Amino acid sequence: MLSVRPSRALLETIAGLAYPRHCAVCEAPLRAGRVLCADCRRSRTRLEGARCATCSQPFGGALEPGFRCMNCGDLQLSFDFATSAYRSRGAVRELIHHFKYNKHLHLRHLLGRMLREGFGDARVRSLGVDGIVPVPLHPTREREREFNQSAVLASVAAEGLRLPVEDCLRRTRYTSTQTHFHREERFENLAGAFALRRGVDPSGRHLALVDDVLTTGSTADACARVLKDAGAAAVVVITVARG
Ligand SMILES: [Zn+2]
Ligand SMILES: [Zn+2]
């Protein structure tokens, strides 16, 4: 007799079209609908323990409350603090790489949830965030990549947080890849690379600037400066991972 209900095998085939059937990191076979195998899920490194109160750079051992690292002590950073739930290591770094550069867009659900975990930081909760601002890409870069990873992750994270995504910023200058620059050069290279979109008024707002990874903080600093100069009361930086 012909069954009118789709078989489990058929459902798994359909799910397999949207979600590859192998772990996104180690390629171990998976049940349909999963993205990571149990080992890779567990191996994601959490950002925990003592860290800089501003940039979240971890340090071994005990630190004074409110400790700031030397880098943050030297710089007048524009954001209030940066936080993440994960470190950009191993499985987490690979996930972000596959998403961003190999265009594995199905990873947005997992990475968006990991970004949302960053909003669980006690300081973020006590501050109270009222809008999420993605880091913009220059239009030329967005055409090359075909999507803005920050905007995609912001919209996934925003769903569960019931916060609006506010596309406040635009990138005015195309900056080449920064990897060959020293820390100070990165900050100088990005100064003035972002501007407020027309008609946007962030005055008095508590905004969360979101991105995939925070490394030196130069991009986040340049974006936060624009928001603060326009009157934002607080800008915190929340990323999927801390480099
Ligand atoms: Zn795996
Ligand atoms: Zn720091």
Least confident of 12-16, 64-68, 113-117: 12-16
Residues by chain with Cβ below 5 Å of ion ligand 1? 23, 25-26, 28, 37, 40
Of 20, 33, 27, nearest in space to 104 by CA: 20
Distance from the CA of 224 to the center of ligand 2, in angstroms? 16
Distance from the CA of 41 to the center of ligand 1, in angstroms? 7
Q: What are 44's two structure tokens?
A: 């994601």
The dihedrals phi and psi of 120, each to the nearest 5 degrees, come to -80, -10
- Per residue in 78-132, pLDDT tens? 999 999 999 999 999 999 999 999 999 999 999 999 999 999 999 999 999 999 9
Assess whether pLDDT exceeds 80 at residue 197: yes
Q: Which ligand is nearest to the CA of 217?
A: 2
Q: What are 21's two structure tokens?
A: 């059937």
Domains in the chain: boundaries: 8-43, 45-242
Query: Which residues, 6+ apart, have CB-to-CB distance to 155 below 8 Å?
Result: 112, 165
Distance from the CA of 80 to the center of ligand 2, in angstroms? 11
Ordered DSSP codes for 26-76: T--B--TT-SS-HHHHHHPPB--SSB-TTT--B-SS---TT---HHHHHS-
Least confident of 138-152, 165-179, 220-234: 165-179
User: Tell me, which fold does domain 45-242 have in CATH?
Assistant: Rossmann fold (3.40.50)
Distance from the CA of 9 to the center of ligand 1, in angstroms? 23
The whole-number pLDDT of residue 1 equals 47
- Per residue in 169-185, pLDDT tens? 999 988 766 667 787 88
